[in-house]
């Protein structure tokens, strides 16, 4: 179950985020500018905000198995439409629908299932390994598509073939899901009828809980860094590094290192330091100097920059692997796991709604060196936000323990 969910969870995000690995190739195939590519990413981000929020409510009420099957069928159909390379307006619509497909229908159900399976003692491990498997597919799938792209002289035909490959993955997932997935919602309801029932007072208490917002900002800061690191792809291309090499580096940076980092952070969180929040704080504290190093490393040293970007990818991926596991320390009730995941994801993934249009405009407006320095500073700010939010969660957890001990 976790393997299939992780596979589809990675694949469904790859099509609307092709720019992360194929930045220049996407622009060339679609005949668009940096700003237009940023607008496509913002369409994904804005639609995702809606999807994440309402997807949480759906995940607490609708069969997870049905949501996965519907999501995979929808993703396959719209990816086939994307293959026709329609007008820019239609591309905006397709990207928005694919974003809704992955967030409104799939994501909160995925988070809810993993949280329930992890129980009270295995949150870091289950999220870490689930995200690690997802990261594993994150490297296998782009390596496959990079091979496919390399088989074509025309970038346009190569990108069409990549989209056809992903459409096949989505339709295959729908078939496998029908036979492999167990409806975790129904199983949980059989075990504890009260676990799936929530009152209006429960929802009001959830919205008032400071832990909900602290987890949201922890994810926001981490995801801001993770999103902005994708701009090392065009940065390395501008240094004269070959496009295939850059694509492979981008794949390992975004996903490959996560195969090790995410499970490792999960084990560290559960077995060594007994706190996913502390693991997140340590990860982001180590990440900050790596980001700042990009401000001083010369453009004539691409190898050193590649090493730093891989280090950033390792630490950001490790933190991403366990940041949802901080919900228990933040005292967010499992009863509302889907709803909480929707609200947290809406705020946490907010950078998708604006950051790529913003940074794309910087790259079109300012000299390259100045624009990239602005990006690296932006990443450092994301680190500080995440560190501050993690500190807030730890303070809440300590306050709760003291309160229980004194009572």
Q: What tens-digit pLDDT sequence spans the chain (407 residues)?
A: 888 888 888 888 889 988 877 888 899 999 888 888 888 988 887 888 888 888 877 777 777 788 888 999 999 999 999 999 999 999 999 999 999 998 888 877 787 777 777 666 666 777 778 878 887 887 788 889 988 988 888 889 999 999 999 999 999 989 998 888 776 544 444 444 444 456 677 778 788 889 999 999 999 999 999 989 888 878 888 877 777 778 778 877 877 787 888 889 988 988 888 899 999 999 999 999 999 999 998 877 888 888 898 999 999 999 998 998 898 888 887 777 777 878 888 899 888 778 888 998 898 889 988 999 999 999 999 999 999 999 999 998 888 777 666 66
User: What is the separation of C-alpha 273 from the centre of its chain, rounded to a whole number of angstroms?
Assistant: 25
Residue 187's pLDDT is 44
Give the tens place of pLDDT for each residue, 104-143.
Answer: 888 777 877 777 776 666 667 777 788 788 878 877 888 8
CA–CA dist 282, 284 (Å, integer): 6
By the 8 A CB rule, do 44 and 352 touch?
A: yes
Q: Where are the domains of the chain?
A: 2-180+200-406
- Would you mind telling me the total number of residues written for the chain in this entry? 407
CA–CA dist 88, 94 (Å, integer): 10
CATH class as words, domain 2-180+200-406: mainly alpha
CA distances from 119 to 122, 184, 323, 327 (A): 6, 13, 16, 12
Residue 298's pLDDT is 83
Residue 277's pLDDT is 94
What lies within 8 Å, CB to CB, of 337 at 6+ separation is 59, 60, 111, 112, 115, 116, 327
By the 8 A CB rule, do 131 and 13 touch?
A: no
Token pair belonging to 330: 């933040």
Residue matched to tokens 């969910």? 5
By the 8 A CB rule, do 224 and 312 touch?
A: no
CA–CA dist 163, 76 (Å, integer): 9
Residue 394's pLDDT is 94
By the 8 A CB rule, do 305 and 236 touch?
A: yes
């Amino acid at each position: 179950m976790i393997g299939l969910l992780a596979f589809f969870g990675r694949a469904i995000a790859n099509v609307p985020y092709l720019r992360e690995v194929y930045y220049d190739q996407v622009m060339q195939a679609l005949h668009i500018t940096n700003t237009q590519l940023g607008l496509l990413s913002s369409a994904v981000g804005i639609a995702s905000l809606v999807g994440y929020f309402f997807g949480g409510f759906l995940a607490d009420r609708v069969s997870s198995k049905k949501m996965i099957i519907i999501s995979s069928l929808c993703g396959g159909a719209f990816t086939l439409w994307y293959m026709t390379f329609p007008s820019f307006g239609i591309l905006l619509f397709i990207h928005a629908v694919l974003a809704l497909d992955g967030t409104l229908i799939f994501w909160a159900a995925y988070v809810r299932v993993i949280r329930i399976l992890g129980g009270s003692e295995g949150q870091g491990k289950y999220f870490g390994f689930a995200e690690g498997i997802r990261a594993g597919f994150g490297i296998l799938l782009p390596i496959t598509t990079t091979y496919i792209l390399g088989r074509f002289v025309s970038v346009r035909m190569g990108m069409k073939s990549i989209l056809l490959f992903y459409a096949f993955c989505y339709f295959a997932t729908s078939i496998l899901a029908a036979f492999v997935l167990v409806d975790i919602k129904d199983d949980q309801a059989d075990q504890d009828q009260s676990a799936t029932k929530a009152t209006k007072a429960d929802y009001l208490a959830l919205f008032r809980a400071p832990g909900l917002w602290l987890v949201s900002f922890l994810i926001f800061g981490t995801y801001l860094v993770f999103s902005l690191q994708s701009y090392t792809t065009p940065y390395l291309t501008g240094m004269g590094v070959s496009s295939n090499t850059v694509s492979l580096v981008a794949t390992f940076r975004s996903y490959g290192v996560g195969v090790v980092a995410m499970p490792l952070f999960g084990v560290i969180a559960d077995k060594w330091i007994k706190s996913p929040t502390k693991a997140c704080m340590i990860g982001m504290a180590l990440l900050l100097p790596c980001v700042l190093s990009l401000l001083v490393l010369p453009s004539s040293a691409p190898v050193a920059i590649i090493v730093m970007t891989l280090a950033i990818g390792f630490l950001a991926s490790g933190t991403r692997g366990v940041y949802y596991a901080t919900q228990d320390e933040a005292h967010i009730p499992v009863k509302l796991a889907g709803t909480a995941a929707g609200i947290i994801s809406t705020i946490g993934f907010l950078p998708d709604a604006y950051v790529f249009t913003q940074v794309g405009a910087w790259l079109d407006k300012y000299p390259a060196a100045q624009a990239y320095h602005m990006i690296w500073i932006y990443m450092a700010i994301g680190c500080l936000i995440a560190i501050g939010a993690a500190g807030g969660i730890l303070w809440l957890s300590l306050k709760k323990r003291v309160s229980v001990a004194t009572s």
